[in-house]
Structure 1
Amino acid sequence: MSTIAVLGVGPGLGMSVAQRFAKEGYAVGLVSRSAERHPGYLAALEASGVRTVAVAADLREPGAIARALDEITAALGPVDVVYHGPGAHDLRAPTVDILETSPADIRRATAEIVEPAAELAALVLPAMGSRGHGSLVYVSGLSALVPMPFLGPYAPASGALRAYARTLAAAVASDGLVVGSLVVGGLIERGDIHQMLTGPGSPAPYATLDPDELADAVWRLASGLEDEIVFDVLTPER
């Protein structure tokens, strides 16, 4: 049985990815910062006979990614697919315009977003290479492609993550490995930010995306059918 590690699981895209791969017969390892919602996630997957485990870990902390992957491997076996989808920048949090962004701001944002991605690649790609197969899918924001000055340091950091994913893809293609890039521009339904910004029965203040459609895109990327997929409901005129 193949195994996927879903890093950054939440009620929106993360769980949709878990359920999409579960339908294909994958065992599922879930990782999120808090264990509070893990029982519900596990029950939803186990109800359909899926082997699963959940690990609480803040992926930004040193050693957390390695520990989470070790726990998943111990419970479910070698990891064949890794989905790296840490939480998006909170749209309600205070932001600094790019003109007010300092070099230190950019260093902090890059460390938060890109360094865990690089740590993950160093941990999983050698083992995947030795087995001759494996997939790694990174998620970045639309500011990786479209100028969004209001995101301040998170815009260049997102661009760096996308560039890193695309460069990795070129580097490992000859080894039979897959590194996919999913670029998301829009509010993901059922996700935490979506729930914060919408009340019962009230319309979302932003254009929204269906997490199940995004999860299908993750499946295509992990299968090597496409190398990058962009969802953009924020700038449809582009």
Structure 2
Amino acid sequence: MSRKVIAVLGVGPGLGLSMAHRFGREGFVTALVSRNAERHEGYRASLSAAGIESRGYVADVADEGELRGVLARIASDLGEIDTVYFGPGNLESGAGIVPITELDAETVRGPYEATLIPPVNAVAAALPPMLERGDGALFFAGGLSGKYPMPLLGSLAPATAALRMYVLTLAAALEGRGVYAATLTIGGLIERGDIHRFVQEHAARTGEAVPGTLDPDDIADTAWNMYVARDRAEAEFNALTQPV
């Protein structure tokens, strides 16, 4: 039996690395993809210490050409990609938010294109070989404002909702075809992630409270269980005191 490969697109020190570890523990070879290789050595050392084989790749997954190219390289180097985890982006970090009452076509277009178009391109590139062999999985990280009204997140909310519905609809369309799709709907700061570190540093300077946090290992465990069971298309992780 050939080994399985997971492509972690937009790997970071939080959930992306936890996904690599969790699937790697099950025998997957992990392909780590980010815009630069600056932190790949550390990620790979962490995986190697756990007995997990990995390889690093540099690509901007927001660029369709680079995305298609890196997925092709991974398949050529490591074998057919069984699972894609798409996790880049700021997951409702608050950067550049425009109030929902002030949106126009231009201000909604940027978040929409940044949030939805790259995952759609990833599916367009990765799905055909999965369908051909009748097996595979696609995971996406999304935000809680895609599920509940959260006015504070303004212009991010429509784009996040669009991504969530895209994944849920994709999952429904793939039923009975051997390929699984699911969204990990996240409300809170991912521990060890870049945004978490930034917020902690800000809180240390200002004395402000740090919002609720989530352990990426717990999320990755849930993702693995979803991969095995394939009986739901969404898992919600909510560390916020109120969803709205």
TM-score surpassing 0.5? Answer: yes
**How much has 1:142 moved relative to structure 2?**
0.3
- Identical pairs, percent: 43
Match of 2:234 among 228, 233, 236: 228
- SS across alignment from 2:116: helix
Residue 16 (str. 1) matches residue 18 (str. 2):
yes
Partner of 2:105 in structure 1?
A: 103
Secondary structure in 2 matching 1:58: coil
RMSD: 1.9
**1:6 alignment counterpart:** 8
Q: Does the 8 Å contact 1:220/1:226 carry over to 2? A: no
2:215 aligned residue = 210
Q: CA deviation at 1:49?
A: 3.0
In structure 2, how many angstroms separate the alpha carbons of the residues matched to 1:89 and 1:213? Answer: 17
Matches within 5 A, 1:161-200: 161-199=163-201
Does the aligned pair in 2 maintain the 1:181–1:221 contact within 8 Å? no
- 8 A contact 1:109–1:157 mirrored in 2: yes
In 1, Cα distance between the equivalents of 2:144 and 2:190? Answer: 13
| One-letter code aligned to 1:166 | L
Alignment correspondent of 1:63: 65
Using the size of structure 2 for normalisation, the TM-score is 0.91
Aligned match of 1:117: 119
Q: Quote how far apart the aligned CAs of 1:54 are.
A: 0.9
Q: Does 1:219 align with 2:221?
A: no
Q: What's the CA shift for 1:200? A: 11
Offset from partner CA, 1:76-133 (integer Å, 9 cap, x none): 1100011111122463634211111221121221111111111111111110011111
Aligned-pair CA distance for 1:237: 6.8
Q: What number of residue pairs does the alignment pair up? A: 238
Opposite residue 208 of structure 1, the aligned amino acid is T
Q: 1:204 to 1:45 in 2, by over 3 A?
A: farther
SS at match of 1:63: helix
**C-alpha spacing 1:237/1:99, structure 2 compared with 1 (3 Å):** closer
- 8 Å contact from structure 1 (residues 31, 54) kept in 2: yes
Summarize the Cα distance change of 1:89–1:139 in structure 2 as closer, same or farther, 3 Å threshold: closer
Once residues 77 and 187 of structure 1 are traced to their aligned partners in structure 2, the CA distance between those partners, rounded to angstroms, is 34
Q: Is the 8 A contact 1:137 1:221 kept in 2?
A: no
Structure 1 Cα separation of the partners of residues 41 and 178 of structure 2 = 36
Bigger Cα displacement from structure 2, 74-83 vs 42-51? 42-51
